[in-house]
Structure formats: structure tokens, C-alpha cells
Structure 1
Amino acid sequence: MELQLNKVYSGFKLLEQKNIKDINSTAFIFEHEKSGAKLLYLKNDDDNKVFSISFRTPPTDSTGVAHILEHSVLCGSRKFPSKEPFVELIKGSLNTFLNAMTFSDKTMYPVASRNDKDFHNLMDVYLDAVLYPNIYKYPEIMMQEGWHYELENKEDELTYKGVVYNEMKGALSSPESILMRKVQESLFPDTPYGVESGGDPDFIPDLTQEQFTAFHKKLYHPSNSYIFLYGAMDITEQLKFINEEYLKNFDKIQVDSEIPVQKAFEAERKLVLDYPISDNEKEEDKSFLSLNYVIGRSTDKELSLAFDILEHLLLETPAAPLKKALIDADLGKDVFGSYDSSVLQPTFSVVVKNSNEAKVDQFKKVVSDTLKALTQNGIDKKLIESSINIREFQLREAEFDGYPRGLMYGIRCMDSWLYGENSLMHLEYEDTLNKVKEALTTNYFEKLIEKYLLNNTHSSLVIVNPKKGLAEKKAEELKKKLEDYKSSLSDSELNKIIVNTNKLKERQVTPDSPEVLKTIPLLSLEDIDKKSETLPLLEAQINSIKTLVHPIFTSGIAYINMYFNSSTVPQDKLPYISLLSSVLGKIGTEKYSYEELSNIININTGGIRFGGEAFAECGKSDIFYPKFTVRAKALTEKLPKLIEIIEEIMLHTKFEDKKRIKEIIQEMKSRMEMRMLQRGHTVAAKRAASYFSPIAKYEETLIGLSFYKFISDLENNFETRYSEVVESFKHLSKLIFNRNNLILSFTGEEKDYESFEKSFVSLYNSLSTENPEKISYNFEPSALNEGLMTSSKVQYVAKAYNFKELGYSYTGSLQVLKTIIGFDYLWNKVRVQGGAYGAFANFQWGGNTVFSSYRDPNLKETLAAYDKAGEFAQNFDSDEREMTKYIIGTVSELDSPLTPSMKGIVSDEYYIRHITQAHVQKERDEIIGTKKEDIRSLGTLIADCMKQNYFCVLGSEDKIKANKDIFGSILNVFE
């Protein structure tokens, strides 16, 4: 059906229609005349459909009301009164994305699915949630998701509890998070960006129920909404549903939600603050120095794209001149940048990490002098070309780390749509990119540097210093505040808190009735494809090398994967695998300096990455295949150049650059520190599994806490260990880069395979023909049960064991159990009742079983919850409808859509691990055929794993020390 401009479809007037060739879509822009809702539809042939409804939600304080509301509206609504419709959908939907997101000035509620019926159901639940939530009926929702006073008996200590409260305690534990939060505060003191939309734990308890509901009443109106649809669908059917079920009930109103513009400063502003470190950490070289600038408007699409490229050019590549100048000046051990265009007034930051406040003046001088030199002498055109090319490659490839493409387009639209401008401007990049390419022949970027950095007074200097005892001091102040408050209360006031606490707990432990659960729409097992997807794989050979060919349409991009057997590396040299993978491509070769190499990679390819990985044998707990991987991509016409570059890096890297190697080690350590604080649950989980699992021990040695300790020691003793490092690199290169060790993989169109085959011959001829001896690794199991102490205010609690070691076998029903345990038992026990942000269960084919929690205020209580998970499973009961829901939710995870490059990688993994299509189909059949009796029978498996008592906790120094009796040892994570 052809839609006509200015015609009304189910209350929606079509205002504009436009072909967006850059993303192969047609855009339709509507306005709902009665309610004032705005709607954008991107029509294309993508079957992974996306829906999102967003609201402009500028906060006025740091109570986190926008964030708490994002959580809370998904806790029951008019049509779907279940306490957790969001969780019920995760359990039983074929969604490919289901979440909600709070930004500095907006809140988004996106869903995605490839199934039409499921997509409709998801839209229905989300629209009802945001427009008719149960937050007005049940104040316990804000108490649970936001904050509340916790007191069960008068004699108990009064505490704060709440999911967002604990989430933000964890989020603001890392110095990087504190820094970026304060950057916005320093640049926008008079606008909503000057407060914390996610919530500051110091202010979250100031939020009242009245303020909470008033925020929803004011801002969650269709007149303040932005509805986004994407993919292959009947748009008239969707418009009819949205109108008849929801929007026709609302009248257009004026909503005061406009984002004010921060008046530019007349001079740079300075902000100095502290962040907590533990008593055992050193304070020297722990400061963060940052210079920050406001860059125009996000509605200036050319400026936004240009600064995105400029930030990469100045700070993100090995050839980046500003980063290089700051490192050369010995101002810190890591340098990184940030360009944030998701706000009305985008910001650009230059950050030096692991520095000292005494170096501030020198920091400012080096930044200023370097930028001036670039404007006066000009930026290297090869560097400009490389940064433009890598951004253009990313735009054309349109792969977003597992997120649906439509979702990322929807987020990108909001960078202009939210501020009353053309919603499509950031999707139409071709013409803008051509304008930016003028920089290849003009002083385009030099002018931007002069205007927006050198001569920009709307800027700030933010310094974040380490401070011992700060966390303890804040904890004591909070404890005293709550003690004083408690002592000021009358008996009746105390009783009221106790009643409210018990009322909340009663709500939390009372299951939804079958009638309520039935209101959540559910697919049937007939809606599930019973057959597993078959990934494309042809086996071939290039000379003597096994080659896996994946013929898929890839929009003219070739994806190359090389898998070198790295079991030739001695056990005591394993950490050097990760270090080598980080050095290759970032250090000079016989033909190129490292700066030249960086430019050549970015000009000719979409990226080349090296890494150490381990692939477990199908169904085995003790057999795995260590591989050194090379993952690369390029346009097919650049394949010969790509192979030439890989050969140069792999076989001709010059490892004797002492200064450069030290810089890479320092940066690796810095980036690991950031990740460990942000993803503490993965650190704890991997560490716990390493106590008993050979493959987990191998991976932990390469990427976990063991590797961090290795890198720290190298940095501290670099002068004495430098020669060892160089010799290890040379030795490992000879052991690994060998044609007899190699499996090749090509993902692309069949017509391009021949080009790859021809291009690869030169590298084949250059590879060594030796046959190094294969090593049998011997990892001694040991229940270390460590407490890993940081200055974090929350915990990451993991417990693990291998069920095959106890005589159990793998079955697909374990994946259904994962869904049930994760989104039923752990969600209720650890998240809802315990206040943690998340909790997870994982069961692997080889037998490894891991439970973990995320941003968790508890420790012993969470371990106790894990110990009772087996009992929960043994007593599990469910009717047929609920069982169907759990099965569908499990299949949803199996059927996450894969990009062309991921299809190649997953197919390679199956081949290396000897996973056949029969194995994949068997697991799917077992999942679909799971009965409640199967779940009950698995309860003993969990109980027996938990009894082995292998656990690891990463978190608060005080909390771990207070529970030191349960640990085998406690140690500081950071120096």
C-alpha cells in the first residue's frame, strides 16, 4: 500500500516521506493529531523489527528520578498487573532486544523481535507500562527499585536499600565514572546536564513518592513522546494498534520539557574532587586530569561527524598526535578521549590517567602547544585519511556489537529529533562525509581545533585525586546519619518503617497469581522454529592449509579469521600471549614506524585484531584448543593489501622499541583497571571457575586477575624485565606463526573467495614450516576462595563448579533451568529482595556451572541464596503455560540474530570444537521438550555443585574484611 503525504492513517498524519539510501531505508514521519505523539518509521527488508517509545526527561536534581522511573514503570501496569512484566517477557518472549535506558535528558524503551506476533506483544506491554504504570497504586515499587528505609525490628540497624541505589553505588565507584559525571557538571552547571540523571547515592534518598509520581505525570505523556519503528512490517496495522489501544485516549497538551542551553563561560572553570582508594593502594600516580570543551550543537550534523573523526584522530590511534605528545611528556600512564554527541551541547574531553595534580600546568601546556603546532604546521594528511576511512567503514558496515541495527539507528535519530530538529540528519551521512573529506586537501580540521579547542572559553579543567579512607569516612557518615535519624523517631514512626519494610517484603515474596500471569501475552511452541539454523560452511584448502569458507552476502566486505594453534607456548609463558596480541599492530615493523602502520591499517582495512582464545572440545570439561587468533576485515578490493599488512605485522614486527612497549603495557594495565571495576562479575566468575576448570584457568591467565597481576609486575620491574619481554615476543612469534599450526576462515561472497586465495599465497610462502612441540598444560585445581578487595561500595559474588566432575551429563534442559533460575529464583532472591542490580546463572556444555551477582550490597546472603538454588529447582512446579514461557525465552537466546561476520566466527568455533549440526539440533530438541520433571531432576546437580564450595568475591574492602572468616585468602586487587 502506497502512503500519501498529508493523509491521516488511524489518527497519524503523514508529514514527510524520504528515501534514505545511506541505510537502505525509506523514512515516514508522522504526527498523531489527537495526542501530539511524534512517530518515525524506517521501512526496509530487515526482519529484526524494532519499536521504541522515548520521552524527554530532563532531571532537576540528582535523586535519580528519571532512572528509578525507568525501572519502575516496568513493574506492572493497567493491562499487565504482574509485579514484573519485564521479567515475564524475558522468560517467555522471542525478543532479540528488550531493555530500557536512561540518558542525561531522555528515557528510551526499545524492544526488538523477528516474530510478528511477539513484536506486537512486546509493543503492547511496553506502551501500557509507560502510559499506565502501577506506580500510583503501589508505593512499594519505588521503594524496591529506587530506595527505602530497611528495618525489620526496632533493635536492628536502619539501612538504605534499593536496586537503583545499589546500582549507582557501583556505577560511581570507579574514578572514570566519577570523572565523566563531574565533567558534565563542570560544563553545564545551570542545565539538567549538571545533575546526575542516574541518581547520586548521596541524594537518591531525598526522592519522595510524590515527586516520583509527579515526574511521570508531567513527562510521560504522548505529547512528550518519540515513537520509533524499524524493519519489515505493515505500518498501517501498527499505526492502527497504537492509536486504538493507546493514543486515542490522550489529548495534545503542552509539556514543559525543553532542554535549556548552557550560556557559554567567559573563562575556563576548574573543579577538583576526590575518589576513594583502599588503604593498601598507593596515592602516587593515581590522579585523573581532564580538559573538557563544549562543541556547538548535536543538531549540527557536519560538526558532529567531524568531531567524532577528530577525536579519533587526536586521541584514539597509535599515531594520534595529542595522545603521543602527552605520553611522551610523561604526564600519565594512559591517555584517552571522549566525544559525546548524545546531549544538546556535545562535549569533547582529553583525559590523562595515572598522573599527579602537580602536573596540571604542564598538562595544559602540552595540550595547548600540541594543538597550536597542528594548526600552524598542518595535520598529517595520511592520519586524516586513516581516521575518516575507519569511520566510513564503520558507518557502511553498520555492525553494533550485538545490538540490533534498527535500535542503534533509533538512538542516533534522537541526537537531533529530541531537540526539535530533523530526525533523519544523522542517518544521512554520505553528503556530510564528503564535506568532511575536504580535510584531505584543506585545513578543515585545523580550523575546528582553533575554533572549538584553542579559542573556546566554554571549557573546564577537572581533576580527580585519590584519597585513602574516603570510602570509610562516607560509610561512617552514612551510618551516623541513619543512627541519628533512627534515634530521632518516635515508636510510632519506627513502627511505620517496620510496617513498610514488611509490606514490601511481603509483596516481594508473594508470587503473582496464575490469573495475573495469564495477562502477559505468550506465544505457543508452534511459533518456534523447531529446526536449528544451519550456518554456511564449506571446507577447502589453500595449498596445505585447511580453509573454512562461509559464503554470505556481506555488502562487499571480506572477513578473514586465522586460528594458529598456540598450545606450542610453554605454560610459564602463557601471559605473554595476551601481551603479544596487544603489541602487534601497535609497534613498528621493518617497513613502517608504528605511526605509519596505524595509518596504513586504517586507510586500507576495517581493522586487524590479534588475541588469545581457548575453544573447549564439545561436551568435555578438560580438553580445549588454545588458539592465537587474527581477525581482520576489508573491502574485497583491498584484500591483497590486507594480507600484505598482516604479513608485515606477523613476521616483521621489530620488538626492540623499549619506550613503545612500556607505553603499551601501561595502557593495558589502565584499561584492565577500568574493565575490572565496570565488569566485576566476570572477573569473580572467571576466577572462581579457574579454581577447578583447566580452560577457565587458561583464560584467567590470559585475561583475568592473574594477567592483571602479571602486567602490573612488568610495569613495576620493566627495566629489569625488558630483555625478557623482547625475547619472549620473538620466541612466541616463532612458536605460533607457523603454517602447520593454522586454520583459515573466509566470510564473504563466493565471487570474492578466489581473490582471497590468490592474495594469501604470499603469506603462506612466508610462514615457517617448522613443527613445534605441543604442550600439555597442567593446572592444579585448588579451592582458593578468595576475597578480592577494592574501594568499590558493592560486591560481585560468584560461586562455581563442574557438574561433569560429579558424574552428571549435559542436557539442553539446563538452558531452560538457566532461564528459570536467572529470571525467577535469582531475580527474586538476589535482585528484588537482596537489592543487587543483577544475578546470573550459566551452564556450559563442558560442565562448568557459575552463579554470579552484579553490584550487590550483600555477600554471605548471596552465597546462601546460591546454596538454596538446588532446593528451589527440586521443588519447582509449573503449569503447561508457564513451562512454555520458559522454553520460548530460552529459544529466544539461542536464536539471537547473527551479523554476517558473526556467522563466520560462530561456524568456525563449532568446527574447532567439533560441534556438529546434530549436536546443535539435539540441544534445541531437548530445550523444546523440557518438562517440569526435568527441571526438578536437575536440582540435585545444582545442589551438589554448590556443596563443593568454590567461590570468589570481588568488592568492598570493609565488607570482605568483615567476612574474612569464610575466605581462604583475601588480597588487594590494585596496588
Structure 2
Amino acid sequence: MEFEVNKVYNGFKLIEKRKIEEINSTALLFLHEKSGARLYKLSNYDDNKVFSIGFRTPPYDDTGLPHILEHSVLCGSRKFPTKEPFVELLKGSLNTFLNAFTFSDKTMYPFASRNEKDFFNLMDVYMDAALYPNIYKYPEILMQEGWHYELNDKNEDMTYKGVVYNEMQGAFSSAESILIRRIQQYLFPDSPYKNESGGDPDYIPNLTQEKFIEFHKKYYHPSNSYIYLYGDGDTLKELEFLNEKYLKDFERIEVDSRINEQKPFDAMKEVSLEYPITPNEEEKDKTFLSLSFVTGKSTDAQNYLAMNILEHLLLETPAAPLKRALIEANIGKDVFGQFDSSIMQPVFTIVVKNSNIEMKEKFKEVVFDTLRKLVKEGIDKELIEASINKREFEIREADEEGLPKGLLFDVKLMDSWLYDENPSMHLEYGKTLSKIKENVKTDYFEKLIEEYLLNNTHSLLLSLVPKKGLAEKKAEDIKRKLSDIKKSMSEDEIENIISQTKALKKRQEEPDSKEDLEKLPLLSIKDINPKAEVLPIEERALDEVKVLFHPIFTNEIAYINLLFNTGAVPYELLPYAALLSDVLGKIDTEKYSYSELSKKINLSTGGIYFGVEVYQGKGNIDEFYPQLIVKSKALCDKIPNLIELIGQIVGKSKFDDKKRLKEIIQEIKSRSEIRISQSGHLISSMRLFSYFSKSGAYVEKLYGLSYYKFLSDIEKNYDNRADEIISNLKKTADIIFNKDNLIISVTTEENDYSVFEKNSGELLKYIGNRKYNPVNYEFDLEAKNEGLLTPGNVQYVAKGYNFMKEGYGYTGRIQVLRTILSGDYLWNRVRVQGGAYGCFMRIDRTGNLAFVSYRDPNLKETLSVYNSVFEYLKNFDADEREMTKYIIGTIGKLDYPLTPAGKGERADINYITHLTQEDLQRERDEVLDTTVEDIRSFDRLLFDVMKHEYICVLGSEVKIKENKDIFKDIINVFE
């Protein structure tokens, strides 16, 4: 229907209506007259509908109140009183996204679903959770999700426990996280931004139930809300639902949640802080140096976009002049930037990693000298155009892995809407981008540098210096503090803590009543499409090279991927396959210097990326398909440019520049350290798989801890081994880049395929004709059972084995088992009762299975939970409604909506691994037919997997050494 401005629809007055051409949507801005709720609808033809309710939530202090509340409101509500309706939805909904986010100044509760009935079910639960949470009735919710004193017996030591407490212990274990958090703290000393909305573990235990409730009462009112709807849903029906079910029951009030602007500093501030490293690490080359600048306001649309482009231009590519200057001055081994536009006053940050504190003044000098030189001599206009093109391609594509397009738009519009400005400001980027493009030939970007970087006193020079023993001292301080607190308590107070601990455990262990569970809305099996999606794929050929064509509407973008089988690379060169993928595109080719190459890529394409992948087979334990993949995308009229650039990189890269190669290796090692710190669950489970699986061992050598150790070794001994490294890279490239082991994948529309076909000869002339001779890899498979030491305060505990080695086969029903164990047994025992941030079951079609925890305060206790899983399954029971929920949740994960590029890539994987449509349909049928008896029957499988005692734990040095008896080897991760 046609909506008219100033008319009222189900209590919502339409304030503004506009067509946003850039995202092909009609935007409707409403105000709910009775409650004061704001609502923004982006109406379009996207069936992946998105909803979010958000609140402006400036933090009072560092207790993490907004973050803990974000967790807690999802722990039961007025209409849905189960202890964790959020988890029930994760287990039993067709959602394509379901989560909640805490930002520095706002809290958002978004979800997405393609099913209308599911969409309204989820909206009901989320609205009730936000407005009527059970936090008022159960203080145990704050204890569980935030923090509490844990004491089971008056003679034992008292400890801190809580999901957010442990999550933030993990976050504050990462130097990069500490750096970014402290930058905001010191730049905004008179603003809510000085406070840690996520929570600082040192201060989380100061949060009281009274402050907790007060915060919800103040900020979680519709008058302080920002409701968002996106997609092809019936807008009138959505408004009616929100009004009738919720908003009509609230009166409009004044909520003071304004964020005061920080006054600029008179001079740059300088701060030096410490961060923990393990006692065995070297302190040399471990300092972070950063310069940060507050750059206007996020409600200045042109400045918002221009500064984003400037950050890319100066710091994000091999051609970036500020990055180059810092690397060449040997200030540090890695340089990166960040433009944080998700706060009212955006921050532009320059970071040098793996430096030393003695370089601080030189760092500052090189930054400002380089910027002054750029202003005086002018920035390379091609470089500016390349960065603009890169950002424009990203904005237009709006494709971020794991996030629905509608959610990305929601986050972006909050960058102006939250600060009482036009919500569509950053979505209607067309005119803003045109103005910026018009200014390319002027000194526009040079003036931005002058105003916001060179002459900006609202800035901070922050150094983060490594210190051995800091984590151990912190652990001891906490232990001592808790001991002192306990000593100061009376007998009655101690008994009260014991009673509270028991009450919490009782609540956690008691199952929800059937009556409460049935209050949660649920789809039926009839709401599910019984047919597995058919992904378009056509097998073609060009000059005897196989082409997989995926005819899909891509809005005139061509996605061209080259998949080279790396199975002929000798065992001793395997890490070089990964190194090769990390180096390509960053070194000179015969035709271009690496700086020119970077400019050309960003000018003509949406990006060219390189990576190693290992695709698992189906049913054969030792079958896997290793690939080096060249991923690329460009507008169809730029296909000739794209192909020429790919050809140059793949066929004509020059590996001989020793200085440049060393710079790249240092950067790759630095990024690997960040990945290990932030994704310990992936590192520990990858390492675990390498103990008992050929494919797991192969993967681990290419991007697990083994690859990091390889990088550390070649960086440390680079000067003596440079010729050997160069020779091995050349050998590896010669083996990989050949037509005989190549498949080309093209995803675009049929009429654009001819453009690729016409230019394909230009690509193939760069690729060799060497015969593909696969290697039969032999790996040393054994239960190494390692403890991997890091300076963190939490663990990532992995245990598993291959169930096919025990005689079991893969079935779709094991996917339902994963849903049940991840969302029920592991969630309750490891997260809810154990205090970890998360715990998952990982599985693949070759039988590899693992349980792995995330930011876990425990170790042996978690392994005990894993060992008892067979007992849970032996006694597993669920009524028809519960089984339906588990099945729907499993199908929801199988049916995650894919982008056009994603559909092409998924179809490629299925083709390479010989996974047929019949296989996919059989798996789906098995999921849909799963019974309680099927789940119970997995008890033996899990018993047989767990009895092998294959474990790997990455985490705290203190905790691992306390439990050293369970490890065969203890390894320092960082050196």
C-alpha cells in the first residue's frame, strides 16, 4: 500500500518517506505517538527480513552494565519465562541471524529470517525480552551473566564467576583489544566514551543488582528506542503487531540519554601502559605505538565517508604512503589503521605493532613528516581514485560474511540516527560520493590531512609496552583480594554467599517446565521446504581447462575464482603454499611494482584475494582436496583489466626483492598473532584434528599453530635463509600454477559470461603446463595432547577424535545431534554452569569431531563435561515439540541464505568434493526424520570418541601448569 506522510498507521505517525536509490529501498520514518518509539522501515524485495530494537545506552562506569544487561534481558521475560528463550530460538528457529550487540553508546537486538511466521515469532520474543525481562524477579540472572562470588563450602577459596566477566577476561588478554579500548578511554575523559561499555574485569564486580535494575528502568523504554525493519515484509502488519502487542501499553516519557560532546584538547595527550606477555616471551619488538585523532562528528556525511577513504589510502594497501614510510623507517614490523565511525565523534587511529618504546618519538616524527610531505607535494591522484573505487565497491556490494545486508544497513544508519540526525544520511551515499569524486583533482584530501591530523590537538599518542609476569601478578592480586574480602566477612555473610551459590546452581540445573517451554512460539515441520536448494552450476571448458559456470543475477558484477589443486606440493614445502598465498599481490610483477599493482587492483576491480583451503571429502577418512584459490570480482566491463592483473600476479610475480619479502613475512606473522589471540577456539581445535586426521594435519600446517611457528622461524632467521625462502616460493608457485590442476569458477549472468570467455585466453597464457602429480602425504598422527601457553586468563579447551575410525558413518542426523549438544548440553554445562563464553561441537563429513570451549575459566571441569556427554545421550528424552524445535534449528543452519558469490563458491565445493544433490537431499531427509531414538543411539559413538583422550588446550600459563599432568607437552605459543 501507499503510505502518506503525516498519516497515522496503527499508532505510528509517518514523519518522512523517501526513495533510497543506492539500496533500492523505500525508507519510512515513523514515530509511535503514544510511547515515543522511533521506527525506521527499509521496504524492498529482499526476503531476508531484518528486525532490531536498539537503545541509546551510554555507560555510567566500567562495570560493563550495558553489556551484562544485553546478555541478561535474553534470559527470560514476562510472556516467555524459560531461563534462556534466546537459546531456545537458536536451537529451534529458521533465523538467518540471531544475536545482540553492545557498542560504546548503544545496545542492539537484531535478528533476520526469510520465513514470515518465524519473523513474527522472533519479534515477539525479542520485544518481550527487551521491555519485560525477568531480571526484576531473579537476581541469579545478574549472577550468572555478569558476576558473582562463587563459594560452595566455607573452607574453600572464594572465586569470581560470570559469563561476561570471563568474556572480558578474554578480551582484555588481547593486546590489540586493550589498545583500542584504552584509546577511547583517554580521548574522551569527560564523556561516557571514557567508560568500558563491555566491562573491565577489574570493575565488573562493583556492579550491584540495584544499579543493574536502575539502568534498565532508565534506558529500556520505548521513548529511548530505535526500532528497525527491513525487507519485503508487510509493513502495516508489522506496525500493527508492534503497537497492539507492546507499544500501546507505554506512555511517552523524557529519557535523558544524550551523549555530551568531548571538548577538544589544547595539546596532544601522551600515555604509556603495560600489557601481559608470558615469562618465556622476549620483550623486544613487542611494543604497540599508536596515534589517534578525533575527526569531527559522524553526522557530517561527507567527512564520515572521506575520512574512511583517507584511512584506506594512507594505511590499508601496499601502496599506502604512510604505511610505507613507517615500514621503511623500521619503526615496527606491522602497520595498520582504524577509522571508528560507530561513535558520535569518530576516531582515526594509526598503529605500529612489534615495535619498541625507544621508537616512540621517531614514530611520531615519521608520521607527521610524511603527512606534511603529502600535503606539500600532493597525494598521487591515482591512489586517491583507487581508494575511492575500493570503498565504493564495498558500499555498493554490502556483503560482509555472516551478516545479512539489512543488518549492515541498520548499523550504518545508527551512526546518524542515534545522534538525532537523518537516519538515511549514510545510506544515501550517491551525492556524497560524487562530491568527493569531484574533489579528486583538488587538494581536498590534503586539506583533510591538515585539519584532522596535522593541526588537530584532540589527539593521543598511546604506547602499549609488554611486561612479563603481569598476568600472573593479576591472578595473584585477584586471589588475594578475594581472600581479604572473605576474611572480612562475618559467618552469616559467608553462609549467605554459599546459599546464593547454591541457589544459582539450583536454578541453572533445574530444567524449564514443559508449560514454560510451550509458551515459546514454534514453527511446524510443514513450514519447512523438504527439498534441498539446487545451486546453479554448468560444467564448461576453455582450452582443456574445466570451467564451472554459475548463471546468477549479480547486478553486473563478475566473480571469477581460480582453484588450483595443491596436492602435488611436496610435504616439506606445504607451509610455502600458505606463504605463497599470503605474498601474492603484495610483490612486484614483471609489468608492475607492488605499489602500482595495488593501485591498479583498486582502480579496476572489487579486489583480488588469495588463500589456501582444504575441502573435506565425504565418507573417506583420508580424502581431502587442498586448494590455493584466487578470488576476484569486478564490474563486467572491467573483466579484461581483472584478467590481465590476475595473470600478472599468478604468472609473473617476482620473488627476488629480499627487503620487500621480509616486510611481508613480518606483517603476516603479526596478523597471525592477532588471529591466535582472538580465535583460540579455532587454533586449539585445528591442532587437535592434526593429532588423528590427515586432512587435519594438512590444514594445521597451512594455517594453524604450525604455520605461525614456521613464520616465526623464517622471520627470525631471514637474513641467513632469504635465498632458500625465495627458491622455495618459486618452486611452490611452479608446481601450483598449472592448467592441469586448475578449475575456473565464474559467477555472473549468462550474457556476461561471453566477456570472460572472450578474454580467457589472455589469462591462460600466464599459466604453466606442468603435469599434476599428486603426493601421497604421510603425517605423524598421535595424541600429542598439548597445553599451548598464552598470556591470557581464559582457556580454549578442545577434545575429540574421528568417529569413522571407530566404524561409524556420517548421517544428517549427526547435524541434529550437534544442534542439541551445542545449544543444550554444552551450553548449560560449560557456559551457564561453568561460566565460559561459549562451547561448540565441530564436525565434518570425514568423521572428525571435537568439542571446544571459548573464553573458558575452567579446564579439567570442561573436559569432565565432554567425557559425560554419552551419559546425557543415553538418558536423552524429548517430546515431539522439542524434537521439532531441534530439527527446525538444524534446517535453519543448513538453509543460511547465500550471496551470489557465496552460491557459486558453495557449488564449487560440492563439485570438487563430489557432494551430489542426492547426497544433500539425503542429508536433509535424515535431518527431517530424526527421532529421539536416533539421538540416544549416538551415546556409543560419543563414548568411543571420548575414550581416546585426544585433547588440546590453548590458554592461561597458570591454569595449564596447574593441570600439567593431563598434557604430554607444554608449548609456549608466542616467542
TM range (shorter): over 0.9
Listed as ranges, the matches of 1:10-409 within 5 Å are: 10-409=10-409
CA distance in 1, matches of 2:395, 2:485: 55
User: Greater shift after overlay, 137-146 or 838-847?
Assistant: 838-847
1:903-925 CA deviation, whole Å, 9 max, x = no partner? 00000000000000000000000
CA distance in 1, matches of 2:671, 2:439: 31
CA distance in 1, matches of 2:92, 2:892: 8
User: Greater shift after overlay, 768-777 or 562-571?
Assistant: 768-777
Query: Would you say the 8 A contact 1:438–1:444 is kept in 2?
Result: no
Q: CA deviation at 1:842?
A: 2.0
Q: What amino acid maps onto 1:720 in structure 2?
A: N
Q: What amino acid maps onto 1:423 in structure 2?
A: P
Q: Counterpart of 1:434?
A: 434
Query: Would you say the 8 A contact 2:796–2:953 is kept in 1?
Result: yes
Q: Counterpart of 2:720?
A: 720
CA distance in 2, matches of 1:769, 1:476: 62
CA distance in 1, matches of 2:531, 2:539: 23
Q: Counterpart of 1:885?
A: 885
Q: SS at the partner of 1:522?
A: coil
Q: CA deviation at 1:566?
A: 1.1
1:138-173 CA deviation, whole Å, 9 max, x = no partner? 000000000000001100100000000000000110
CA distance in 1, matches of 2:617, 2:201: 46
CA distance in 1, matches of 2:770, 2:12: 70
Q: Counterpart of 2:685?
A: 685
Listed as ranges, the matches of 1:439-518 within 5 Å are: 439-518=439-518
Listed as ranges, the matches of 1:703-742 within 5 Å are: 703-742=703-742
1:939-963 CA deviation, whole Å, 9 max, x = no partner? 1101110111111000000100110
Q: SS at the partner of 1:766?
A: coil
Q: CA deviation at 1:457?
A: 0.3
1:56-88 CA deviation, whole Å, 9 max, x = no partner? 000110000000000000000000000000000
Q: Counterpart of 2:600?
A: 600
Q: What amino acid maps onto 1:498 in structure 2?
A: I
Q: What amino acid maps onto 2:65 in structure 1?
A: V
Q: What amino acid maps onto 1:133 in structure 2?
A: P
Q: CA deviation at 1:439?
A: 3.6
CA distance in 2, matches of 1:891, 1:763: 40
Q: What amino acid maps onto 1:428 in structure 2?
A: E
CA distance in 2, matches of 1:231, 1:565: 40
Q: CA deviation at 1:47?
A: 0.2
User: Greater shift after overlay, 238-247 or 607-616?
Assistant: 607-616
CA distance in 2, matches of 1:773, 1:528: 45
Matched, 1:639 2:629: no
Q: CA deviation at 1:438?
A: 2.5
Query: Would you say the 8 A contact 1:9–1:239 is kept in 2?
Result: yes
CA distance in 2, matches of 1:652, 1:962: 53
Q: SS at the partner of 1:955?
A: strand
CA distance in 2, matches of 1:754, 1:438: 34
Q: What amino acid maps onto 2:463 in structure 1?
A: I
Q: CA deviation at 1:843?
A: 2.3
Q: SS at the partner of 2:465?
A: strand
Q: What amino acid maps onto 1:411 in structure 2?
A: V
Q: SS at the partner of 2:922?
A: helix
CA distance in 2, matches of 1:832, 1:375: 55
Q: Counterpart of 1:964?
A: 964
Query: Would you say the 8 A contact 2:740–2:772 is kept in 1?
Result: no
Q: SS at the partner of 1:385?
A: helix
Q: Counterpart of 2:770?
A: 770
Query: Would you say the 8 A contact 2:398–2:408 is kept in 1?
Result: no
Query: Would you say the 8 A contact 2:616–2:844 is kept in 1?
Result: no
User: Greater shift after overlay, 722-731 or 131-140?
Assistant: 722-731
Q: SS at the partner of 2:40?
A: strand
1:112-133 CA deviation, whole Å, 9 max, x = no partner? 1000000000000000000000
Listed as ranges, the matches of 1:571-586 within 5 Å are: 571-586=571-586
CA distance in 2, matches of 1:41, 1:467: 50
Q: SS at the partner of 2:765?
A: helix
Q: Counterpart of 1:791?
A: 791
Q: SS at the partner of 1:282?
A: coil
User: Greater shift after overlay, 649-658 or 922-931?
Assistant: 649-658
Q: Counterpart of 2:924?
A: 924
CA distance in 2, matches of 1:611, 1:116: 38
CA distance in 1, matches of 2:768, 2:877: 60
Q: Counterpart of 1:629?
A: 629
Query: Would you say the 8 A contact 1:384–1:439 is kept in 2?
Result: no
Q: SS at the partner of 1:160?
A: strand
Calculate percent identity across the aligned residue pairs: 61
Q: What amino acid maps onto 2:146 in structure 1?
A: G
CA distance in 1, matches of 2:544, 2:174: 50
CA distance in 2, matches of 1:284, 1:314: 27
Matched, 1:521 2:521: yes
Report the TM-score, using the length of structure 1 for normalisation: 1.00
Q: CA deviation at 1:136?
A: 0.4
Moved over 6 A (4+): none
Q: What amino acid maps onto 1:797 in structure 2?
A: V
Q: What amino acid maps onto 2:369 in structure 1?
A: D
CA distance in 2, matches of 1:794, 1:402: 26
CA distance in 2, matches of 1:415, 1:396: 18
Report the TM-score, using the length of structure 2 for normalisation: 1.00
Q: Counterpart of 1:933?
A: 933
User: Greater shift after overlay, 539-548 or 102-111?
Assistant: 539-548
CA distance in 2, matches of 1:380, 1:514: 67
CA distance in 1, matches of 2:76, 2:626: 47
Q: SS at the partner of 2:193?
A: helix
Q: CA deviation at 1:621?
A: 1.5
Q: CA deviation at 1:561?
A: 1.0
CA distance in 2, matches of 1:323, 1:381: 17
1:700-722 CA deviation, whole Å, 9 max, x = no partner? 10000000000000000001110
Q: CA deviation at 1:772?
A: 4.3
Aligned-residue CA RMSD in angstroms? 0.7
CA distance in 2, matches of 1:202, 1:384: 44
Q: Counterpart of 1:743?
A: 743
Query: Would you say the 8 A contact 1:186–1:270 is kept in 2?
Result: no
CA distance in 2, matches of 1:694, 1:881: 40
Q: What amino acid maps onto 1:951 in structure 2?
A: I
Q: What amino acid maps onto 1:446 in structure 2?
A: E
Q: Which runs of 5+ in 2 are unaligned?
A: none
Q: CA deviation at 1:738?
A: 0.9
Q: Counterpart of 1:894?
A: 894
CA distance in 2, matches of 1:249, 1:659: 68
Q: Counterpart of 1:945?
A: 945
Q: SS at the partner of 1:46?
A: coil
Query: Would you say the 8 A contact 2:799–2:851 is kept in 1?
Result: yes
Q: Counterpart of 1:854?
A: 854
CA distance in 1, matches of 2:853, 2:885: 24
Q: What amino acid maps onto 2:500 in structure 1?
A: N
1:489-512 CA deviation, whole Å, 9 max, x = no partner? 111110000000000000000000
CA distance in 1, matches of 2:782, 2:284: 35
Matched, 1:546 2:558: no
CA distance in 2, matches of 1:633, 1:111: 29
Matched, 1:781 2:775: no
User: Greater shift after overlay, 841-850 or 196-205?
Assistant: 841-850
CA distance in 2, matches of 1:369, 1:580: 34
1:361-397 CA deviation, whole Å, 9 max, x = no partner? 1111000000000000000111111100011111111
Q: What amino acid maps onto 2:532 in structure 1?
A: S
Q: What amino acid maps onto 2:346 in structure 1?
A: P
Query: Would you say the 8 A contact 2:687–2:700 is kept in 1?
Result: yes
Q: CA deviation at 1:654?
A: 1.0
Query: Would you say the 8 A contact 1:153–1:498 is kept in 2?
Result: yes
Query: Would you say the 8 A contact 1:15–1:30 is kept in 2?
Result: yes
Query: Would you say the 8 A contact 2:412–2:427 is kept in 1?
Result: yes
CA distance in 2, matches of 1:766, 1:650: 7
